[in-house]
Chains A and B, each alone.
Chain A
Amino acid sequence: AQSVSQHNHHVILSEAASLELGCNYSYGGTVNLFWYVQYPGQHLQLLLKYFSGDPLVKGIKGFEAEFIKSKFSFNLRKPSVQWSDTAEYFCAVTEEGTSYDKVIFGPGTSLSVIP
Chain B
Amino acid sequence: DTGVSQNPRHKITKRGQNVTFRCDPISEHNRLYWYRQTLGQGPEFLTYFQNEAQLEKSRLLSDRFSAERPKGSFSTLEIQRTEQGDSAMYLCASSVGLAGGPETQYFGPGTRLLVL
Contact = CB atoms under 8 A, between A and B. Distances in A.
Interface residues of A, number: 26
A108 B42 contact: yes
A43 B42 contact: no
Contacts, number: 58
Highest count of chain A CB atoms <10 Å: which of B93, B105, B106: B105
B104 interface: yes
A34 B42 CA distance: 13
B45 to A, nearest CB: 5
A102 B45 contact: yes
A104 B40 contact: no
A96 B103 CA distance: 11
Given A101-B48, A105-B42, 11 more contacts: A32-B102, A43-B4, A44-B93, A46-B104, A100-B102, A101-B56, A101-B95, A101-B103, A101-B105, A102-B45, A103-B33
A46 B43 CA distance: 14
A99 to B, nearest CB: 6
Interface in A96-115: 96, 99-108
Interface string B4-31: 1000000000000000000000000001
B62 interface: no
B66 to A, nearest CB: 19
A101 B104 contact: no
B2 interface: no
Given A103-B45, A108-B40, A108-B41, A46 B31 contact: no
A103 B107 CA distance: 12
